[in-house]
Structure formats: C-alpha cells, structure tokens
Amino acid sequence: MRLAAAELVESREILPGQWLQAYHAPDIATRSRAGQFVHVRPGDYSGMVLRRPFSLNTADPATGIVTIHFRVIGRGTAWFTHLRPGDEIDLLGPLGRPFEVDPRSRHLLLIGGGLGIAGVRMLADEAIRAGRRVTLLFGAAGSREVYPSSLLPDELEYVVATDDGSLGHHGYVTDLVPEYEAWADQAFACGPQAMLAALARQAEGRRQRLGVAKLGRKRGGGKADPFGSPAARRKSFLQVSMEQNMGCAVGACLGCVVMGSNGVPQRVCREGPVFAVEELAWDGAWR
C-alpha cells in the first residue's frame, strides 16, 4: 500500500449519474491486481477530509493509467465530477485482497450487478491477456443503466439481463448463471448483496448438479486451505467482491465488517473485499 499522486487524464459520464475517470498513476497501475481498490482523497480545496473507496476498474501497467467507475451519490462523489484533466488527487493503494484464478482455469464467468461491474471489470483484462475465455453476465434495472459494450474488450462474451426486459434477458442476471455453470471453471461476482446471496445459493448445489471435480482436490493431501488464504480463494468455484461503506479502509474502524462462516467478523477492507463464497455467512440478514 502506498500513497501516490494521480493526475486526471479523462473524465466522462458514461451512464446517467455514472462516471468513468482515468488517472495517470504508474505505481498503482503496475502493482494492482483485479479485485483491489484505492482510497481516494478529494483535493485540499474540496473542504472534505474523508477518503472514498473505489474499485480499480482497470489498470494498465504499460500506460500507467488506472480507471475508476462510480455513481454520484453525494457531495463527495459529485466533487470528483468537477475535476478537469491535469487536476491531481491522491490515491492510497492498491488495497485489499485480489481475485485468485486457478492456473488450470480456462473459462471464467464474471457476474456484475449494476455498479458492481467495476469490481470484476479488471479481471476480464487480466484473464484475456492470459489467454482465457471470459463471459461477463451483467444485470441492471433497465437499458438506461446497461454498461456500454464499447468499453469492454472485444474478446469478451457480454450477456445482459434487465429487470424490466428493456434489453437482453427479462429478469435477474442470476437467471443466466445455470446456462454457464457447466462451461465455467470459476466464477467471480460483484454487485448487490441480494444478488451475491442468490449466487451463493446457486453455487452450493453446483457440484452435486454437475457431478464436477473440485479444483485442487488432490493437492495438499485433502487438507483444508487456511481461511482467507489465496489458495482457499483459488480453489473456490465462486469468489465474491463485497461492497461495504468504508471509513478508514485500513482495518481500524470496523465500519465495514461482514460475518464470516467461521463466526468471526471479516473486515471487507482488510480480509476482503474478495472472499471465497464459502468464507461468508449468507444466512440470516442477507437472505
């Protein structure tokens, strides 16, 4: 984790109230992995002291450009939309634990709900660079909120679901998952908690439905991987990136906890934001 000055290169509203901004931040672009995030401080002249967490939407080590995708939800996020190319902010990051892809996985299924696409977008670039095939399932309330396909890699299969049926599948994005669960070696999701809880339930029964082998079952003599370890995430069919309100983003304030399946609260900013789906307790409040 480092503090880096970042210069705004491009800023545009890509959907109503949703912005995509590109910053020149070579150090962060080089060290970031898909699933991680940055904590961003508005400028001194903003009058605001709290940092805001943003998923790293993309990071290109070759150009040193990182992008963030956010919705304007208050004074803080609105402030960022007034920045102009050449303006500087400071970024703390990369923060959090990244997605882990098993080296044997050839087919990756990404699932994004609304703004949650920002949490999985970078993984598409990493996977395609590594020669993997990627399908992105995206869900939104209606066509006005569908992420533009022009902002996605050409190699990616992009499938859309809308709640009102105005574009693509009429229904929830989770309806689309069964069609891909035999094809996918691993799945990665980010979005509303109700969507993630539904995916967790689907993943629970997948192995029995398909009769598939579990990745890595022969390694380590059947020993379980340590809770929260990269190996535990790598062997899980489904990894989820949790979106929680954050205060400090460094593990001190406990403002971002979710309950672990081991009964221990998990800080999304430190133990997450990416978890193997089996590591979280999905019953109770989230159902």
Q: Does 264 bind ligand FES (CB under 6 A)?
A: no
249 counts as binding ligand FES under rule CB under 6 A: yes
Q: Does 255 bind ligand FES (CB under 6 A)?
A: yes
What does the alpha-carbon distance between residue 21 and residue 242 come to, in Å, rounded to a whole number?
22
Using rule CB under 6 A, residue 43 touches ligand FES: no
Q: Which is nearer to ligand FES, 212 or 264 (CB)?
A: 264
Is 285 a residue that touches ligand FES (CB under 6 A)?
Answer: no
Question: Kindly report the CA angle at 199 between 38 and 163, in degrees rounded to 5?
Answer: 90
Rg (CA), the chain: 18
Number of residues counted as binding ligand FES (CB under 6 A): 12
Closest CB 46 distance from ligand FES, rounded Å: 20
Which of 49, 213 has the CB closer to ligand FES?
49
Using CB under 6 A, which of 34, 89, 95, 269 touches ligand FES? 269
Near ligand FES in 208-247, by CB under 6 A: 246-247
> Is the Cβ of residue 126 or residue 271 nearer to ligand FES in the bound state?
271
Residue 140, beta-bridge partner list: 162
- Regarding 252 and contact with ligand FES (CB under 6 A), the answer is yes
Of 110-169, which residues contact ligand FES (CB under 6 A)?
Answer: none
Task: Tell me how crowded residue 178 is: count the other CB atoms within 10 A of its CB.
Answer: 11
When the beta carbons of 78 and 253 are compared against ligand FES, the nearer one is 253
Nearer to ligand FES, 43 or 247 (CB): 247
Nearer to ligand FES, 70 or 138 (CB): 70
Of residues 49-68, which lie at the interface with ligand FES (CB under 6 A)?
none
Cβ-contact 192, 114 below 8 angstroms: yes
Q: Is 253 in the site for ligand FES (CB under 6 A)?
A: yes
In the chain, what's the furthest Cα-to-Cα distance? 59
What's the min distance (Å) between Cβ of 255 and ligand FES?
A: 5
Task: Give the residue from 20, 29, 30 showing the smallest Cα distance to 83.
Answer: 20
Query: Applying CB under 6 A, which of residues 196, 267, 275, 280 lies at the interface with ligand FES?
Result: 267
- Give the footprint of ligand FES on this chain (CB under 6 A): 246-249, 251-256, 267, 269
